[in-house]
């Protein structure tokens, strides 16, 4: 029942630096004159990486039995993917404006 292995200092701090590094990179990126869509995609990509690092090492999921990961994460991801369907509308909404004050 005791976890076979767990993150040692070396890993923990490298993850920490990794996260900080990514954050700084994001901030720098924010000041580049990129189109919003590109920026959004890149930032989200980086954030997902950060989230993955946190889940894997800080939240220790990497060292749990695979079945835990296999049941939790796909469920979450699936629901989130389904939720993105709503964006099909918001883009439409922009050019179906109706009332003027």
Partner 1 sequence: MGKAFAVVLTIITTVSVAIFVSRHWWFPEAASAHGGAMDHQFVETFVGAAIGFILAQLCLAGFAWKYGERKGDARPIRIFPGGAKWLIVLALVYVGSEIILLEFVGQKVWAAMYFTPPAAGSLQVQVLAGQFAFYFRYPGPDGKFGPIHTRKIDETKGNFFGIDSSDPESKDDIVTVDLAVPVNQPVVLLLNSKDMGHGFYIPEMRIQQDIVPGMEIPLHFTPTKIGRYEIACNQLCGLGHNTMRAFLDVMSEEDYQKWIVEQASLQ
Partner 2 sequence: MSSLDGPVSAAAVHDAHDIPSWGGGSLPYAVPSKKLGMWLFIVSDAITFSAVIFAYGYLRLAAAAWPRPFETPSIVNATVMTFVLLSSSVAMVLAVRASSLGKVSGAVGWLVATALGGVIFDVLHIREWLGLIGEGVRPFHNPWGTPMFGAAFFTMTGLHMLHVTIGVVYLLVIAVGFGRRKFSAADVEVSGLYWHFVDLVWMFIFPLVYLLSAKTA
Partner 3 sequence: MANMPMEAQVHHHAAPTGFIRKYIFSLDHKVIGKQYYFLAIVSVFLGMVLSWLVRIHLVWPNVHIWGLGAFSPAGAPGGVISPEYYLSLLTIHGTLMVFFVLTTAPQAGFGNYALPIQIGAEDMAFPTLNMLSFWVTFLALCALVATLFVPDGPPISGWTAYPPLSAVGTIAGPGQGMGQNLWAVSIALFCIGSLLGALNFITTTVDLRCTGMTLMRMPVTCWAWLITAILSLLSFAVLFAACVLLILDRNAGTSFFLPSGLLVNGQLQNHAGGSPLLWQHLFWFFGHPEVYIAIVPGFGVISHVLSVFSRKPVLGYKIIVICLLAIGFLSFTVWGHHMFLSGMSPYSGFLFSIPTLIITIPATIISLLWLGTVFGGRLRFTTCMMFALGFVSVFVTGGLGGMFLAQPSLDIFLHGTYFVVGHFHMVMGVAAIFGMFAGTYFWFPKMFGRMMNERLGKVHFWITFVGVYCIFMPMHFIGLEGMPRRYSSFLNEAMQPLMPVHKFMTIAALITGASQFIFLFNLFWSMYKGPKAPENPWESTTLEWTVSSPPPFDNFGGKHPVVYHDAYEYGDVQNGKDYVMQTDPPG
State which of positions 55-94 bind partner 1 (CB under 8 A): 93
Rule CB under 8 A: is residue 78 a binding residue for partner 2? no
State which of positions 39-58 bind partner 2 (CB under 8 A): 39-40, 43-44, 46-47, 50-51, 54-55, 57-58
- φ, ψ for residue 96, nearest 5 deg: -120, 20
Question: Rule CB under 8 A: which residues touch partner 3?
Answer: 1-2, 75, 78-79, 82-83, 85-86, 88-90, 92-93, 98-101
Smallest gap from Cβ 99 to partner 2, in A, equals: 14
Rule CB under 8 A: is residue 38 a binding residue for partner 2? no
> What is the crossing angle of helices 36-53 and 9-30, to 10°?
170
Place of tokens 């709503």: 86
Tell me, by CB under 8 A, how many residues bind partner 2: 52
- Among partner 2, partner 1, partner 3, none, the one that 10 touches (CB under a kind-dependent 5 to 8 A) is none
Place of tokens 């800080």: 58
**How far, in Å, CA of 83 to CA of 87, rounded?**
8
Indicate left, alpha or beta for 7 from its phi (over 0: left) and psi (-120 to 50: alpha): beta
């Amino acid at each position: 029942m005791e976890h076979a292995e767990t993150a040692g200092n070396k890993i923990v701090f490298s993850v920490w630096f990794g996260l900080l590094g990514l954050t700084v990179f994001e901030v720098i990126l924010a000041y580049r004159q990129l189109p919003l869509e590109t920026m959004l995609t890149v930032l989200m990509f980086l954030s997902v990486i950060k989230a993955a690092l946190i889940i894997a090492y800080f939240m220790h999921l990497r060292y749990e039995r695979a079945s835990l990961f296999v049941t939790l994460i796909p469920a979450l991801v699936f629901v989130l993917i389904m939720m993105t369907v709503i964006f099909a509308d918001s883009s439409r909404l922009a050019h179906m404006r109706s009332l003027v004050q």
